[in-house]
Amino acid sequence: MLVEERRQRLLELVRARRFVSLPELAEELQVSESTIRRDLEWLEEQGTARRIHGGVLYTGQSPQLPHFEARQPAQWAQKRAIARRAAELVQPGETILLDGGTTTYEVARLLVGRPLHVLTNSLPVANLFAPDPNSDLIFIGGNICPRSGVAQGPYADKMLSTIRVRKTIMSVAAINEEGCFNNNLLLVATEQAMIRAADQVIVVADSSKFGHRSLGHVCPLEEVDILVVDSGLADSWREKLASAGIQVLIAPVAEPPEPPKSEGALV
């Protein structure tokens, strides 16, 4: 079996079973576990699988969410760098709330397999954690946006008003001196509820978002505790953020593999 054919078959097995052990994969493909480990390293680079204790989880993206899929490849190297830095802020056993942004989704990929209590209003993010035996998942219900798979609106806001989490990790569409913005008014209200539910608010945003505004104002800069951004952020913005009392974490950008293709099934 050619390497490309074996890896495609491996991906199909992981995607179909959601979680599978290394011995099972080696038996199915009639190769050694060391070969499986090398192939899994390749799948992890593509963002479609993640190794955890005892086996591997499928982390491919959900289909039929055109807006989400169209935005995911944009600034992908920056998003991956930001995600790696943001994931370092999450400790085992914590309760975290994740929104439906594409940068937040990259953070979620890296958190799969950790012992966490995860709350989210994002179907793509929930799809990552649903088969994970190490995490507890709560989905925030509401009106589902068919373009992004995100729950929003009054039902989501009401549920969020009843919970408390250690950290909210969220993406935004734009940031300027007035604060953070998003372009969906229903989602803006839901993200405001996410902020109120958290002890600590972490915003993950690439440097292209700065100096702009969007339709809805999510929050002033002072409501953000930590902002994780790539190294393309201008020094003038670093000073403005520091003046607002925000802890700014800069994520160095490495040369990435190609962005992952959108595959998988919704929970």
In which residue ranges of the chain is pLDDT below 70? 1, 16-18, 60-74, 255-267
For 9, 87, 103, 224, the CA distances from 61, given in Å and listed in that order, are 18, 19, 13, 28
Partners of residue 267 on adjacent β-strands: none
208-233 per-position pLDDT tens digit: 999 999 999 999 999 999 999 999 99
Q: Which residue in the block uniquely carries the two structure tokens 């963002």? A: 47
Evaluate the CA torsion angle 51, 52, 56, 61 in order and state its sign. negative
For residue 257, what pLDDT is reported? 44
DSSP three-state, residue 19 = strand
The string of DSSP codes covering 232-266 is TS-HHHHHHHHHTTPEEEEEPPPPP-PPPP-----
For residue 260, what pLDDT is reported? 47
22-44 per-position pLDDT tens digit: 888 888 898 998 998 888 888 88
